[in-house]
Amino acid sequence: MRIIFVRHGHPDYEKDCLTALGHKHGEAVAERLKDEPVEKIFSSTCGRALETAEHINEKFGLGVDGLPFMREIKWGSIDGTPVYEDGHPWLNSDYLVAQGNDLLNPDWRKTEQYRKNKVVAAADALAEGFDAWLAGLGYTREGDYYRVGKIRYGTVVLVSHGGASSAALAHFFNLPFPFVCSAICPDYTAVTIVALSEEEGALVAPKFEIMNDARHIAKIEELD
């Protein structure tokens, strides 16, 4: 099975919808994906993600299934204690780099930047939802990997957010969340494709096909 992760287009965060530029992004990524063998479209239930998914759906006519667990993750102090840049995950990753800290630290949850940041619980909750979703598609988590069962689809699209997709990919590939935030940091409608073996009964790990490809919006950004 292949999962095509797509970040939403340029948003109006206050209204939780796409801007005019964001709709152009949505049209561009739909065109980018039109020749993919997509069998199902899933999306975060946030408006900006659903609107992006609808642009993709116009090419396939499959409908869009909402996934509440893929809504953008929350960050900030868990108890009012000040946290760096209000706990923003990308800014915290940048801070770790600036201080020479290890982005691959497996104990990142216990570090000063994260131990009182609600993003930790949010990322862990998203990972739990992600595994439940994968189990429904035929892949059951066993330790760090996935046992292949009866596969439901060959290729699916999953539209979500920068933070939510980073949390999902961090869990999927057993990587620290701060590292993934720093290494990927997806642009609007960036496409990341991962593949899982369909050998029934096998214990498998995901593999990247494409990471953070946003070339389809390059000329749009230049025009606006």
Residue 224 has pLDDT above 80, yes or no: no
DSSP per residue over 171-187, as a string? HHTT--HHHHHHHT-PP
Contact (CB, 8 A) for 50 and 168: no
- Which tens digit of pLDDT belongs to each residue from 153-188? 999 999 999 999 999 999 999 999 999 999 998 999
| Structure confidence at residue 223 as a pLDDT band (50, 70, 90) | low
**Distance of alpha carbon 126 from alpha carbon 31, whole angstroms:** 29
Q: Which residue has the tokens 């290890």?
A: 102
Phi, psi (degrees; rounded to nearest 5) at 139:
-130, 115
Indicate if the pLDDT at residue 221 is higher than 80.
no
User: SS3 of 67, please?
Assistant: strand
pLDDT tens-digit map of 134-149: 999 999 999 999 999 9
For 19-72, the pLDDT digits (tens) are: 999 999 999 999 999 999 999 999 999 999 999 999 999 999 999 999 999 999
Residue 82: pLDDT band with limits 50, 70, 90: confident
pLDDT digits (tens, 9 = 90+) for 96-136: 999 999 999 999 999 988 999 999 999 999 999 999 999 99
**Average pLDDT over every residue of 8-20:** 97
What average pLDDT does range 73-91 have in this prediction? 91
Q: State pTM to two decimals.
A: 0.96
Instruction: Report how far residue 109's alpha carbon sits from residue 123's, in angstroms, rounded to the nearest whole number.
Output: 10
Q: Is the pLDDT of residue 76 over 70?
A: yes
Which one, of 158, 171, 148, lies nearest residue 3 by Cα?
Answer: 158
Q: For strands 145-148 and 191-195, give the pairing.
A: unpaired
